[in-house]
């Protein structure tokens, strides 16, 4: 019979149950943070334009950006910026021809994630 040993054969991974490796997750996150920062860029530009338009518009923009939701969005944008910058540096290193083997990439995963959190906290400490 053809399928006597069916239970022990490896199954090919399916997209819905396949556990993505960390390298793939961070690659997707690199894109998501890049696209997501469109919102942060709009808010920051609004804050500066409002400052140029009138003191009233300026106060409104400042209040919205530092409201509860505003703080959350700005903190999220800051982390997105730090993560995108750290992973971007890793991409530049890869482009230069270094660290592109899997073992090194798995180590630099942790460096990128750790550095993005540390830099975010550092900036928050400096500006508060």
For residue 127, how many C-alpha atoms fall within 13 Å in the half-sphere facing its CB? 8
| Helix locations, the chain, DSSP H | 22-53, 55-65, 68-95, 102-127
- Residue position matching structure tokens 């923009």: 61
Taking a C-beta distance cutoff of 8 angstroms, is the pair 86, 116 a contact? yes
Nearer to another protein, 44 or 113 (CB): 44
Q: Please tell me whether residue 93 binds another protein under the rule CB under 8 A.
A: no
Q: Label residue 1 exposed, middle or buried (CB < 10 Å: 0-12, 13-18, 19+).
A: exposed
Q: Please tell me whether residue 65 binds another protein under the rule CB under 8 A.
A: yes
- Residue position matching structure tokens 């083997």: 101
Nearer to another protein, 34 or 113 (CB): 34
Residues 1-30 that bind another protein (CB under 8 A): none
Q: Is 84 annotated as a binding residue?
A: yes
Residues 25-64 that bind another protein (CB under 8 A): 31, 34-35, 37-38, 41-42, 44-45, 47-52, 55, 58-59, 62
DSSP structural state of residue 100: -
Annotated binding site for heme: 84
User: Which residues contact another protein (rule: CB under 8 A)?
Assistant: 31, 34-35, 37-38, 41-42, 44-45, 47-52, 55, 58-59, 62, 65-66, 74, 78, 81, 85, 88-89, 91-92, 95, 123, 126-127
């Amino acid at each position: 019979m053809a399928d006597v040993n069916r239970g022990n054969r490896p199954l090919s991974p399916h997209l819905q149950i396949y556990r993505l490796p960390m390298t793939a997750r961070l690659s997707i996150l690199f894109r998501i943070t890049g696209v997501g920062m469109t919102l942060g860029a709009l808010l920051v530009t609004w804050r500066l334009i409002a400052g140029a338009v009138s003191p009233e518009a300026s106060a409104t923009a400042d209040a919205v950006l530092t409201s509860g939701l505003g703080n959350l969005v700005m903190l999220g944008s800051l982390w997105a910026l730090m993560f995108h910058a750290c992973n971007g540096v890793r991409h530049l290193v890869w482009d230069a021809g270094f660290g592109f083997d899997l073992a090194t990439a798995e180590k630099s995963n942790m460096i990128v994630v750790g550095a993005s959190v540390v830099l975010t906290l550092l900036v928050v400490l400096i500006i508060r």
